[in-house]
Amino acid sequence: MSLTSSKLFALVFLATLAATALLRVWLAMRQLHHVAAHRGVVPTEFAERLPLALHQKAADYTCAKTRLGLAEFTASTLLLLTFTYGGLLQAANDFWQRHFAPDSYAQGLALFASVALLGFVIDLPFALYRTFVLEARYGFNQMSWPLFLADLAKQGVLAVLIGAPVLLAVLWLMAAMGRYWWLYVWLFWLTFNLLALLLYPTLIAPLFNKFVPLDDVELKSRIEALLSRCGFRTSGLFVMDGSKRSAHGNAYFTGFGAAKRIVFFDTLLSRLTPTEVEAVLAHELGHYRHRHVWQRIALLAALSLDFLWLLGLLMGQSWFYAGLGVVSQSTALALILFALVLPVFSFPLTPLMAHVSRRHEYQADAYAAAQTRASELVSALAKLYRDNAATLTPDPLHSLFYDSHPPAALRIAHLHNA
């Protein structure tokens, strides 16, 4: 019965993986064809705002990113199959069991480190190509080699100092809390993520970027008036040196409670007028007013609880391991296998999450139009789409499936009607 169950699970997994791969490739091909087909003409509503050369740059940039995404997906799929049916995960488990006590915390941490390190090695060439070839080709990369290497070193140190204790705590809870360990892990994970949101702005972000108080008197006065109208209190207005890594621009607020910060990329401030910056900030405040951050946290919390409960059901089943090409059974192996295959089975949730995000963007836009002039947000968005080389003509189905923000034409049409 166990052998039959494992074969059935293997067939279900492989069929789901194949269907996911075919859908991804089909959507990518649609995107490439649609963007290329509309490359030669600027959409009518943007004809006065965007030269044809910049429209074509955005089309080429979008196609280049889509092709890179396909290559990354192919590499990650091959790595997944190597870990499972290729026997690499079982081999790594056997290796560490010869050096540590079987199923010990040390052996589990070493196994996780091996998987993470190999994943990093596979991802690194793509990161290098994206930064120093693709982004540089289209004029966006500002990253130097020393800065790139420094970022990698900092990320590695943080992964060890934060990731290792968190993983150790999860493994301990899985082993010590009995039948309902998944509930304790969920509570710990939720607490950790909320704590990270609170501490990230002041402890982690400054390790990578420099944050200085906004010193533009006119802009600061305008923003403070907007915050007062919106009833938003913040611990400060800051400018981030995003230009040392990229020419892309953005603005965001981070943290919660008394630790809320509003952060502007220096690239954003250099391109937008004070009234346009105010409109962009009003959009971000719209997310706060509609409690979008808390809604997303609640949605992710619900999904993570469901996934952990499912892992609780699977980790004691021998067919779960055997169906993925692994002979041994352990807490660490169960967690790794689940993390590896979850993206395959959860891929159908992608359009749902994208839909929720797009709905939030429309709501934030409507709030911004009520607090500032809609025309200022339209002008700011047009500049951001232009300067970030975001295509104005995405494939509708590809956009519906993936995009967290509505297409430019639809978004601006909604603002004109606000």
How many other C-beta atoms can be found within 10 angstroms of the C-beta atom of residue 13?
A: 18
Compute φ and ψ for 226, nearest 5 degrees: -65, -45
d(C-alpha 140, C-alpha 123), whole Å: 21
Residue 199 is encoded by which pair of tokens? 């501490």
Q: Using an 8 Å Cβ cutoff, are 207 and 154 in contact?
A: yes
- Run of H or E residues at 92: helix 88-97
Residue 83 is encoded by which pair of tokens? 């870990």
Task: For 104-163, give the DSSP string.
Answer: -HHHHHHHHHHHHHHHHHHHHHHHHHIIIIIHHHTT-B---HHHHHHHHHHHHHHIIIII
**Local structure of residue 365 (DSSP, 8 states):** H
Q: What is the dihedral of CA 255, 258, 264, 265, to 10 degrees?
A: -50
Q: Give the HSE-up count for residue 16: Cα atoms under 13 Å, Cβ half-sphere.
A: 14
Q: Using an 8 Å Cβ cutoff, are 45 and 377 in contact?
A: no
Catalytic site residue 278?
no
Catalytic site residue 365?
yes
268 to 73, 150, 156, 369: CA distances (angstroms): 31, 25, 29, 20
Contacts of residue 132, defined as CB under 8 A and 6 or more positions apart, other chains included, come to 141, 143, 148
- The SS3 of residue 373 is coil
Q: Which of 135, 278, 361, 365 is catalytic?
A: 365
CA proximity to 9, closest of 267, 337, 333 = 337
Q: Which of 284, 361, 376, 395 is catalytic?
A: 284
Residues with catalytic annotation? 284, 365
